[in-house]
Amino acid sequence: MAHAHAAVMQPPAAAEPGSGVYNEKLGMWIFLGSEVMFFTALIGSYIILRFGTPHPWAPPGVILNIPVTAFNTFLLICSSVFMVKAYAAIADGKKHFLRTDPSVPHDWRLWRWVDGGLKFWFLMTILGGATFVGIQVYEYIHLAHNGFLPSGIKEGTHFGELVAQGIVPAATAGIYGSTFYTMTGFHGFHVTCGVVSMLYLFFKKVLPEKYSEHDYRGVETIGLYWHFVDLVWIILFTIVYLI
Amino acid sequence: MATIAATADQLAYAHADDRSFLRKYIFSTDHKIIGIQFLILSLFFLLVGGTLAMMMRWQLGFPGRPIPGGAALPETMAPGGILLPEFYNSLVTMHGTFMVFFAIMPLLVGVFANFLIPLKIGAPDMAFPRLNMASFWTQFVAGVIMFASLLVEGGAAGAGWTAYAPLSANPEYSGVSLGQQLWCVSLVFLGLSSILGSTNYIATVINLRAPGMTWFRLPLSVWALFVTAILGLLAIPILSGAAIMLLFDQTIGTHFFLPPEGGQPLLWQHLFWFFGHPEVYILILPAMGMVSDIIANGSRKPIFGYHSMVFAIIAIGFLGWIVWGHHMFQSGMNPTLATSFMISTLLIAVPSAIKTFNWLGTMWRGNLQFHVPMLHAVAFVAMFVIGGLSGVYMASTPVDIYIHDTYFIVAHIHYVLFGGSLFALFGAITYWYPKMFGRMMNPFWGKVHFWLTFLFYNLTFFPMHQLGLGGHMRRIYDPTQYAFLQPLQPINEFISINAFLLFAVQSIFALNFILSWFFGKKAETNPWKDNGLEWTVPSPPPHGNFATTPRVYHGPYEYSSPLVEEDYLPQNRPVETTKAPAEQPAGR
């Protein structure tokens, strides 16, 4: 190398090292930087509105159903774990759905002898995300039916009674509804986008077995997005539901 | 060593392009075509924004008199040719919105980040070509929505381009409902377009540099566009979030910015300016970068203080995040906070001055070539100094309290955005026109356009400082309503007449741009004798840009190098040296 280019002033590099990460992964990390700022705008506004008001806020668990959403949170975390399993499966070259391990005696402990491949874990991830959105839609319908709307709490409804009894402060009910629906709604929108993207990848790439242990960039890239969406939800669940 | 020109190999791969017309020119993934699409779309919006400004100037110069051609406007805008106050509010708002979001920003970033980055770093295209196409078409949709909002019932948004709440948040306050909602929707689309674009530019600069194109061999235009893309990536989602909240306030009854139910109008200002100040640097940094390229070329000298230029770009990019409060000195925020924002704002003068003195240092004792791009670049430096210095005035809270919301501010923003960014853009478009279209713009008419623009531009905007110090508020419909402004009315008339002339002479540029496309002199590969990699491929470069991946041996500003006979040294041209190989630095 040095001899071949002895005549040039500065020896040319073999290639610029760049980030050492392939384009899709780098691009997703960059895009997630933007997503962080988007949720910062929403969450930051919530913090300012909630802690900037001199009036008390509704106590946790009165309007929002914490147990149901805790289950939903668990479901989304499981979905993230499934994504890791999908990634690990394809990194080992397991493209199949489910297969049995003949070397292990079959008993009721399925996880010992049933081996999930990319197709199985990817589908499980999608199902986890879709169920999360479904439960969220159910929650919205339930809340709206009982009078909790983006504009505040409607009089003459179940939650309207709580306001009349003084359990839920009337002064902050309006911004409670505004911030709750905007933050969780945009998170739900992101989960939906993730589910739609994963469905596309499932039919276009996973089922036709386009991924292999040599190239599973799509799984890793959508996985980054999925873990991000999960992480945002853990923050939202804490600050919107629990405190 | 002959000048690097189009070789037979390079021409051969040009013929391998068999895409259909639709894929080649409309839904193209080629970064050069996308750049040109952005160029045409943004020049259209530049014209729209300019037309709106002319209508405002008519009203300010000659209030209450029917505007020429006003009969063509509907009754809801100008009954009897006299502009309505509500319509004037829409004009102010839409002029700012079109110019900032649909003209200057896409001209700088959409056009030149797209066109220049892959060519200048030696890449065949962007990292994500299809994302790039999506970015343009999202911008197109945003533009259509914003343009359509001019025509809807109730008129276009009228709360100013800053859309301060609660005026913007409740249709009852501004009298505009659908127009303001479309404004929000359009900006969300625009934000998406910018985020997709920024992701692409950042990934491309990091991952696709040609061998030898180290970080400190990047042209300053690429550095500036890279830092700009980071600013856009992180600032624009804040605007998207804020615009969505504003939209919800207007449509589904939320209370983010409406005080009666606990919302905070000041929150809008914080969100908007937390986006808005980085946005200011999005609108100037690429101009600074391209001006650096042009000035080094026009001076036939290496840029003075390359590394300090790079660090100044990074410093401006960083400081841009911690100064947003200087837009809000009068908003009632804590005066202690205002002091800290004042200090951080004054700090920006340091990197800005570094850049200015480096440009002067580059020109100092250079072999100055005043071609059209160079004229615009030098005008950029001069105008930026005026705009920058008035910026230092305003950053100081005691002064700002006096001149806040006056025409002094209007003069300042136009000195940096028109005198700064737009002059740089005229220069940059003329400079890279041969690479885009394969033909030269006419230099004579280019110079005529430059001198007339420079003259009328200063006659238009410089007296605005005087108006502002005289207490002339911005965004007012009829200055003659105020007794203390009546003596200033002749200045307003003077400004208006010069503004009309400024607008009229832009037709020279438009004609030069359009006619050169068809009848201009065929461009050589390297008409400006520039060192950049884009000047080593044919004009216009074929799909895929480079026949073989170029190797880079030098920085981009090796002008008048003693190592070669010519006064320029392309980045991909190795130079023989008498030094023994043992003395070579190891590695890159």
Q: pLDDT tens, B540-559?
A: 999 889 998 899 999 999 99
In a domain, B14, yes or no: no
Count structural domains, chain B.
1
- Beta partners for residue A71, in sequence order: none
CA–CA dist A75, A69 (Å, integer): 9
CA–CA dist A69, A136 (Å, integer): 8
Mean pLDDT, to the nearest integer, of B20-45? 92
Residues from chain A contacting residue B587 (CB–CB below 8 Å): 11, 13
Nearest to B588 among A6, A13, A30 (CB): A13
In a domain, B16, yes or no: no
Residue of B nearest to A26 (CA): B203
pLDDT exceeding 70 applies to what percent of chain A? 94
Mean pLDDT, to the nearest integer, of B442-452? 97
Out of A101-105, B90-94, B493-497, least confident range = A101-105
Q: Sorting pLDDT into bands at 50, 70 and 90, what band is A15? A: low
Identify the pLDDT of residue B480: 93
Identify the pLDDT of residue B241: 97
Residue of A nearest to B204 (CA): A23
pLDDT exceeding 90 applies to what percent of chain B? 82
Residues from chain A contacting residue B214 (CB–CB below 8 Å): 13, 16
Q: Which residue has the higher pLDDT, B533 or B171?
A: B533
For chain A, list the domains and their CATH numbers: 23-103+110-242 (1.20.120.80)
Q: Return the sign of the alpha-carbon dihedral for residues A227, A230, A232, A235.
A: negative
Cβ–Cβ gap B203/A23 under 8 Å:
yes
In a domain, B10, yes or no: no
Cβ–Cβ gap A27/B238 under 8 Å:
no
CA–CA dist B484, B470 (Å, integer): 9
Helices (runs of H) and strands (runs of E) counted in chain B: 21, 0
pLDDT greater than 60 at residue A11: no
Q: Sorting pLDDT into bands at 50, 70 and 90, what band is B7? A: very low
Q: Which stretches within B320-371 are classed as H helix?
A: 335-347, 349-363
Nearest to B209 among A16, A30, A31 (CB): A16
Mean pLDDT, chain B, as a whole number?
Answer: 92
Residue type, B448: V
Residues in chain B: 588
In a domain, B104, yes or no: yes
Residues from chain B contacting residue A26 (CB–CB below 8 Å): 127, 203, 206-207
Residues from chain B contacting residue A12 (CB–CB below 8 Å): 211-212, 551-553, 574
Tens digits of residue pLDDT in B503-543: 999 999 999 999 999 999 999 999 999 999 999 999 999 98
pLDDT greater than 50 at residue B3: no
Cβ–Cβ gap A45/B256 under 8 Å:
yes
User: Percentage helix, strand, coil, to 5, in chain B?
Assistant: 70, 0, 30
Mean pLDDT, to the nearest integer, of B225-248? 97
**CA distance to partner chain A, nearest, from residue B271 (Å):** 7
In a domain, B7, yes or no: no
Nearest to A38 among B131, B240, B588 (CB): B240
Q: Which residue has the higher pLDDT, B195 or B14?
A: B195
**CA distance to partner chain A, nearest, from residue B580 (Å):** 8
CA–CA dist A127, B273 (Å, integer): 41
**CA distance to partner chain A, nearest, from residue B176 (Å):** 20
Q: Please name which of B306, B310, B337 lies closest in space to residue B322, comparing C-alpha atoms.
A: B337
Identify the pLDDT of residue B341: 94
Identify the pLDDT of residue A18: 78
- Report how far Cα B97 is from the mean position of its chain's Cα atoms: 13
Mean pLDDT, to the nearest integer, of B119-148? 96
Residues from chain A contacting residue B264 (CB–CB below 8 Å): 48-49, 52
**CA distance to partner chain A, nearest, from residue B44 (Å):** 29
Identify the pLDDT of residue A5: 39
Mean pLDDT, chain A, as a whole number?
Answer: 91
For helices B306-319 and B349-363, the axis angle rounded to 10 degrees is 150
Asked if B130 contacts B167 with a C-beta cutoff of 8 angstroms, the reply is no
In a domain, B230, yes or no: yes
Identify the pLDDT of residue A111: 86
Tens digits of residue pLDDT in B187-216: 999 999 999 999 999 999 999 999 999 999
Residues from chain A contacting residue B551 (CB–CB below 8 Å): 12
Asked if B71 contacts B81 with a C-beta cutoff of 8 angstroms, the reply is yes
Q: Please name which of A195, A233, A170 lies closest in space to residue A83, comparing C-alpha atoms.
A: A195
Q: Sorting pLDDT into bands at 50, 70 and 90, what band is B76? A: confident
Q: Sorting pLDDT into bands at 50, 70 and 90, what band is B16? A: low
Tens digits of residue pLDDT in B321-362: 999 999 999 888 888 889 999 999 999 999 999 999 999 999
Residues from chain B contacting residue A2 (CB–CB below 8 Å): 581, 584
The complex's ipTM?
0.91
**CA distance to partner chain A, nearest, from residue B537 (Å):** 20
Q: Which helix (H) or strand (E) holds A114?
A: strand A114-116
Cβ–Cβ gap B253/A15 under 8 Å:
no
Q: Which residue has the higher pLDDT, A139 or A14?
A: A139
DSSP type of residue B560: T
Size of interface A-B (CB pairs under 8 A): 166
Residues from chain A contacting residue B563 (CB–CB below 8 Å): 9
Residue of B nearest to A1 (CA): B587
* Secondary structure string (H, E, C) spanning B286-320: HHHHHHHHHHHHHHCCCCCCHHHHHHHHHHHHHHH
**CA distance to partner chain A, nearest, from residue B260 (Å):** 9
For helices A23-52 and A217-236, the axis angle rounded to 10 degrees is 10
Cβ–Cβ gap B248/A7 under 8 Å:
no
**CA distance to partner chain A, nearest, from residue B493 (Å):** 43
Residues from chain A contacting residue B128 (CB–CB below 8 Å): 23, 27
* Host domain of residue B233: 25-574
Cβ–Cβ gap B577/A7 under 8 Å:
yes
CA–CA dist B367, B364 (Å, integer): 9
- Cα A45 to Cα A79, B19, B471: the distances in Å are 29, 48, 35
CA–CA dist B165, B17 (Å, integer): 52
β-pairing, A148-149 with A152-153? antiparallel
**Buried residues in B565-584 as b, exposed as e (16+ CB within 10 A):** eeebbbbbbbbeeeeeeeeb
Q: CATH number of the domain at B336, please.
A: 1.20.210.10
Cβ–Cβ gap A49/B256 under 8 Å:
yes
Backbone φ, ψ for residue B8 (5° rounding): -60, -35
Identify the pLDDT of residue B577: 59
pLDDT greater than 60 at residue B580: no
Residues from chain B contacting residue A151 (CB–CB below 8 Å): 252-255
In a domain, B51, yes or no: yes
Identify the pLDDT of residue A13: 42
**CA distance to partner chain B, nearest, from residue A92 (Å):** 27
Cβ–Cβ gap A181/B256 under 8 Å:
no
pLDDT greater than 90 at residue A32: yes
Nearest to B127 among A23, A38, A52 (CB): A23
- Beta partners for residue B568, in sequence order: B559
CA–CA dist B245, A87 (Å, integer): 37
What six digits make up the tokens of B231?
A: 């600013």
Residue type, B400: D
In a domain, B1, yes or no: no
